[in-house]
């Protein structure tokens, strides 16, 4: 007799790899995709090439693995984003993993602007973003987390997140953030905790003229209302942080900030 007990069932896991390489003229030199990961290039007119990554599995759970990569040669320009918000579901065993690798040659410009990662109750996920860039290149990176599904009144009680971001610029590490979020952090009081926030975001810009863009960024940051935000600039970079008790007002604030520091339009797949 066929044994279909829970202990005997091996669930299929998501495995996906996708990426693109752009040559010196900004033209696509290579594109690859496998498993549930897809890379789509919409037709663009008068704008930098956009690479839209998509996980056709519809979400991530324990044991799933996505690997995204963008490689820009000297002088190339591109925007990377995701078609929709990624979802991290309840994990029964193990962790989901998302790895992103970005490479920028001399004078290249890359804006890595994925949409939100929504964490469901019991999600367990590790994300790793690693960048190697030339000193005169321009890089904007955005990471947004939403804790729970607001439409269902979900308030997370159990979570396991390991989020790591590393930027190497001209061979020197200029950003290294390692974030751990566990059950206790969801209820931690005071300024060191999340308070009433269920949506948080970090926007970073690395560019030779980054400090010159700080005033314009601060001019569009919210000064009242539900979104709290602040930004600072030093040593050729800007870092802005956002937090809010709801995802939509944070998304709107982040969109204004992205447009300010990049000087360009948002990815076409964003719904603002």
Model confidence pLDDT, tens digit, residues 79-124? 999 999 999 999 988 899 999 999 999 999 999 999 999 999 999 9
What pLDDT shows up at residue 165?
96
> What count of other Cβ atoms lies within 10 Å of the Cβ of residue 180?
10
Q: Within its chain, how far is the Cα of 112 from the centroid?
A: 7
Band of pLDDT at residue 5, cut at 50, 70 and 90: very low
**How far apart are the C-alpha atoms of 125 and 121, rounded to whole Å?**
12
DSSP track, 2-54: ----GGG------EEEEEEEE-TTS-EEEEEEEETEEEE----SSS-EEEEEE
- Asked if 159 and 183 touch (Cβ cutoff 8 Å), the reply is yes
Q: pLDDT tens-digit profile of 9-21? A: 556 688 999 999 9
Q: pLDDT tens-digit profile of 25-71? A: 888 999 999 999 999 998 877 778 999 999 999 899 999 999 999 99
Q: Which residues lie below 8 Å from residue 86, measured CB to CB, with a gap of 6+?
A: 55, 59, 60, 98, 114, 115, 116, 117, 118
Band of pLDDT at residue 4, cut at 50, 70 and 90: very low
Phi, psi of 144 (to 5 degrees): -130, 135
What pLDDT shows up at residue 270?
87
- Asked if 28 and 76 touch (Cβ cutoff 8 Å), the reply is no
**How far apart are the C-alpha atoms of 88 and 41, rounded to whole Å?**
25
**Burial of residue 267, with CB atoms counted within 10 A of its CB: 0-12 exposed, 13-18 middle, 19 or more buried:** buried
């Amino acid at each position: 007799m066929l044994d279909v007990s829970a202990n005997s069932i091996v669930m299929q896991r998501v495995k996906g790899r996708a990426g693109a390489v752009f040559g010196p003229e900004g033209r696509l030199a290579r594109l690859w995709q496998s498993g549930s990961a897809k890379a789509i290039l919409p037709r663009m007119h008068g704008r930098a090439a956009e690479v839209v990554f998509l996980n056709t599995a519809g979400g991530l759970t324990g044991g799933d693995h996505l690997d995204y990569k963008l490689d820009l040669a000297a002088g190339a320009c591109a925007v990377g984003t995701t078609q929709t918000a990624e979802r991290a579901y309840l994990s029964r065993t193990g962790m989901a993993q998302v790895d992103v690798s970005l490479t920028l040659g001399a004078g290249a410009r890359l804006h890595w602007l994925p949409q939100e990662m929504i964490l469901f109750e019991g999600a367990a996920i590790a994300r790793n973003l690693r960048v190697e860039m030339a000193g005169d290149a321009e890089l904007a990176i955005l990471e947004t987390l939403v804790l729970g599904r607001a439409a269902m009144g979900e308030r997370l009680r159990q979570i396991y997140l390991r989020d790591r971001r590393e930027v190497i610029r001209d061979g020197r590490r200029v950003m290294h953030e390692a974030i751990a979020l566990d059950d206790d952090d969801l209820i931690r009081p005071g300024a060191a905790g999340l308070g009433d926030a269920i949506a948080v975001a970090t926007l970073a810009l690395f560019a030779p003229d980054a400090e010159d863009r700080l005033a314009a960024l601060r001019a569009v940051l919210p000064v009242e209302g539900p979104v709290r935000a602040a930004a600072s600039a030093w040593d050729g970079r800007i870092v802005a942080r956002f937090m809010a008790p709801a995802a939509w007002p944070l998304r709107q604030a982040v969109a204004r900030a992205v447009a300010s520091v990049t000087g360009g339009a948002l990815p076409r797949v964003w719904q603002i």
